[in-house]
């Protein structure tokens, strides 16, 4: 009688293939046709992402500022929105604008908030996604890009003057009054930006994108809370500085919903449900998880 070969339990456990089910595990190497491979999460390339973001923002700015200003239509639309908000009993922008403007240090801080954090926080979230959630980066970035792209359609179809430029309005242009550079559409910079592209508000679209991403993926509770507070504070800022109506914020949220729908259709799931770690391009091995 020949000898029996017994495989140790440890060896059997190691030999059993493990299925990828949890979103934080490594994604399997994509299989199938070309379309399936294109839709599968992939490790982002730094040089490509820098180039893509730079070209995309340049294109966005070029198209946004190339849209005809249509001053008359923009002012008429602003009057219509202001009347609609009065009918709804929610025309609070002027009161907030005057109240915050009476506190100099607060409104000056909001002017600089409006001018800087819109870009700083969004880019910071993209960098964090690239480093700590490479498997979710492309899908989450697609949400942002699709949101911004559909906003350009809004600027073209619905020119809108911000409250500070309304005819007969009593809004305070806080940038002009306090001589800060809180808006590309005021002061010496007003000729570099389309002043009548207030609907939808990408300050809100981008800030809600940042807030949801941080809340869904951050580990520390206080960081997740800050993520939720960021778009709320941004809403107060865009109203207090008289750069937007609150309905503009609603337009920004609708654009963001479109962006999530595009990502959901392309990847088959929400970006935050994708695996955090993906295989390196051109290799069969996994990308080791990064901290964060």
Angle, vertex CA 168, rays to CA 165 and CA 173, nearest 5 = 35
Do residues 248 and 196 make contact, with C-beta atoms less than 8 angstroms apart?
A: no
Pairwise CA distance, residues 255 & 105, whole Å: 33
Q: Mean pLDDT score of the chain, rounded to an integer?
A: 82
Mean pLDDT for the stretch of residues 107-112: 94
Per-residue pLDDT at 233 exceeds 90: yes
Per-residue pLDDT at 62 exceeds 80: no
Find all residues with CB under 8 Å of 54, minimum gap 6, and list them. none
DSSP letter string, 61-103 = HHHHHHS---HHHHHHHHHHHHHHHHHHT---HHHHHHHHHTS
pTM of the predicted model over 0.85: no
Mean pLDDT for the stretch of residues 184-201: 68
What's residue 2's pLDDT? 44
Question: How many percent of the chain have pLDDT more than 90?
Answer: 57
Q: Within 10 A of 5 (CB to CB), how many other CB atoms are there?
A: 5
Q: What is the pLDDT of residues 5-60, one digit of tens each?
A: 444 444 444 443 333 334 455 555 555 556 555 666 666 777 788 888 888 878 87
């Amino acid at each position: 009688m020949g000898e029996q070969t017994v495989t140790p339990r440890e060896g059997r456990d190691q030999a059993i293939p493990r299925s990828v089910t949890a979103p934080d595990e490594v994604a399997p190497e994509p299989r199938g046709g070309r379309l399936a491979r294109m839709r599968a999460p992939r490790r982002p390339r730094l040089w490509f992402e820098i180039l893509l973001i730079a070209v995309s923002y340049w294109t966005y700015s070029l198209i946004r500022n190339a849209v005809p200003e249509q001053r008359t239509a923009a002012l008429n639309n602003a009057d219509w929105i202001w009347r609609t908000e009065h009918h709804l009993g929610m025309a609070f922008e002027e009161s907030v604008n005057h109240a915050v403007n009476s506190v100099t240090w607060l409104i000056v801080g909001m002017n600089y908030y409006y001018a800087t954090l819109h870009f700083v926080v969004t880019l910071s979230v993209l960098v964090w996604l690239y480093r700590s959630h490479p498997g979710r980066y492309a899908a989450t970035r697609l949400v942002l890009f699709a949101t911004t792209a559909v906003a350009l359609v809004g600027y073209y179809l619905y020119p809108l003057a911000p409250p500070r430029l309304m005819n007969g309005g009593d809004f305070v242009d806080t940038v002009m009054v306090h001589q800060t550079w809180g808006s590309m559409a005021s002061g010496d910079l007003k000729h570099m930006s389309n002043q009548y592209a207030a609907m939808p508000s990408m300050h809100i679209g981008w800030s809600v994108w940042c807030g949801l991403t941080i809340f869904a993926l951050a580990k520390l509770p206080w960081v997740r809370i800050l993520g939720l507070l960021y778009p709320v504070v941004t809403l107060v800022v865009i109203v207090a500085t008289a750069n937007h109506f609150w309905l503009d914020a609603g337009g920004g949220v609708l654009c963001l919903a479109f962006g999530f729908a595009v990502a959901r259709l392309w990847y088959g799931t929400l970006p935050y449900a994708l695996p955090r770690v993906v295989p390196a391009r051109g290799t069969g091995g996994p990308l080791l998880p990064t901290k964060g």
